A and B are shown apart, each in its own frame.
Chain A
């Protein structure tokens, strides 16, 4: 796992929709909380009706993680209304904040609302990529999506996170085969690669023993299992 101290007090997680932003944000929040950091998640996703961090409020409570949800999250109101409480996170200097942003430029527009304050306060802007996600399978297409996001939110990226995976079907080879993809994007954008993730079921897999990976748990998933 990477050194959490690399991240500033406010972390922003952006990316193509469906690349794993919410699952990464939840894992990051929980790992911060486990290190006795005070954490608040801002669910800024105003475009996704299902599978959003607000759905995991109860799980987060067990780690004393506070979540600021859109006003109508979890209801039948398809209304993109953000909570006024979000303004308070810029004042809470003892709290680590994770902005879980909606996908693509459409989701990043909501983030643009806070661009001035974020630029003033400073933040770590993570761009999450997944080689196995449709429409961002090449470095070039992933970079194009980032440019659209930057135009929408008026913020500059700080880190790349290579979140390449195929959910429960991910093999050690899938992880290894996607390393170059993450490196290439970071190189082209002249940004540091913060970390490469791997699904938790691959932890302790001998084929990945030589790699420094951030193992993340599958928290965001359909309610079909036990």
Chain B
């Protein structure tokens, strides 16, 4: 008997979180993410978990802050405008060193934007999820199966480094269906959370989780300590996938749904005789700079393919240390580039030598 099932990306994210030991979901509905919350509403009561639809995104994210502060695995999910509302609480989580999972099934912005898929929250996810000096872990799945796999990893790494982690998906990945295998009980590295505020029972000193510090020197010391942790993460946690890069002259750089389009575009360009390949970042923070170490010498040009106005282009430029030209092709506002549009760009860039 085949243990594969067909699931929507949003449902797969939810089921994977339950399998990773998450029993606390706080959310607020928004298209194109709603199936995730709906799935949690159905499933959580059956596994003695909590599904709570808050009165707003702001409340939901603060409930995650509180729940995760007791040491349990907690999460919230939303789509772009909702994540903006949650960004305050995410900053507080980072300031308290509280791990939690935040899922963003991106749609078009700014403002209410639209309900069609987008990748225009790249800057928000990787540079400024909220105010203050901090980073969060950002994972970018490209298949429904990878959505499942990265949920478990995001919980594990968040716990390991005591920081919020984000799954940065998009409406297309959230809404599309693919066969998946859901591994059971993936909670592997359940680290002991000695910092959690879960009742000291007079057996230990009480814990405090707080992001307010009375002296600037203490706040500075903590932030510097946190950034030393970020350095370790940048060294150890970069993840990416390569496709037909061995002899590639033109390297597409794309994540999520854009990477799926780019994958086809590489094949089309190869058929036409262009040596194209795809570098797919799986972690967006830390950005997989190491993946470019050889490519920045061997490739002739890079093309960032995105469903935004090119928010990742600067990160590619930094990764190739501006040694090679970095081009951009993409659509925005809820549109997805077609494989032909991307292949045409490869031909255009390839014809430039």
Interface residues of A (CB under 8 A from B): 18, 48-51, 76, 78, 130, 132-135, 137, 165-167, 169, 171, 173-174, 177, 221-226
Contacts and interface: CB of A to CB of B under 8 A. Distances in A.
Contacts of B73: none
Contact of B264 (A48, A174, A226): A226
A78 B339 contact: no
Given A51-B175, A137-B5, A166-B2, 12 more contacts: A48-B175, A50-B32, A130-B6, A132-B4, A132-B5, A133-B5, A133-B6, A134-B6, A165-B6, A171-B2, A174-B2, A224-B257
B32 A224 contact: no
A50 B79 CA distance: 15
Contacts of B263: 224
A48 B35 CA distance: 10
A167 B1 contact: no
A166 B115 contact: no
Nearest to A130: B6
B261 A49 contact: no
15 contacts: A18-B6, A18-B177, A49-B115, A49-B171, A50-B171, A76-B114, A78-B115, A134-B6, A134-B7, A167-B179, A177-B1, A222-B172, A222-B257, A224-B257, A226-B268
B38 to A, nearest CB: 9
B336 interface: yes
Interface of chain A, helix or strand or loop or mixed?
Answer: loop
A199 B116 CA distance: 28
Which of B4, B6, B264, B338 has most chain A Cβ within 10 Å? B6
B339 A18 contact: no
B5 A49 contact: no
B5 A167 contact: no
Contacts of B4: 132, 166, 169
B interface, size bucket = 35 or more
A137 B3 CA distance: 11
B15 A134 contact: yes
A127 to B, nearest CB: 17
A221 B261 CA distance: 13
B338 A223 contact: yes
B1 to A, nearest CB: 7
B347 to A, nearest CB: 15
Interface string B173-186: 00111110000000
Interface of B: 1-2, 4-8, 11, 15, 31-32, 42, 108, 113-117, 171-172, 175-179, 257, 260-261, 263-264, 268, 334, 336, 338-340
B261 A223 contact: yes
Q: Which 3 A-B pairs have the closest CB atoms?
A: A76-B114, A224-B260, A50-B175
Contacts of A167: 6, 177-179
A157 B56 CA distance: 40
Contacts of B268: 226
A164 to B, nearest CB: 10
Contacts of B32: 49-50
Contacts of A48: 175
Nearest to A50: B175
- Please indicate which of the listed interface residues B2, B7, B268 has the most CB atoms of chain A within 10 Å of its own CB: B2
Contacts of B338: 223
B115 A224 contact: no
Contacts of A221: 176
Nearest to B177: A18
B264 A166 contact: no
Contacts of A171: 2
Nearest to A225: B264
A1 B336 CA distance: 36
Contact of B6 (A76, A166, A224, A225): A166
Contacts of A18: 6-8, 177
A224 B116 contact: no
Most buried by A among B114, B179, B338, B339: B179
Contacts of B2: 132, 166, 171, 173-174, 177
Which of A76, A221, A223, A224: most chain B Cβ within 10 A? A224
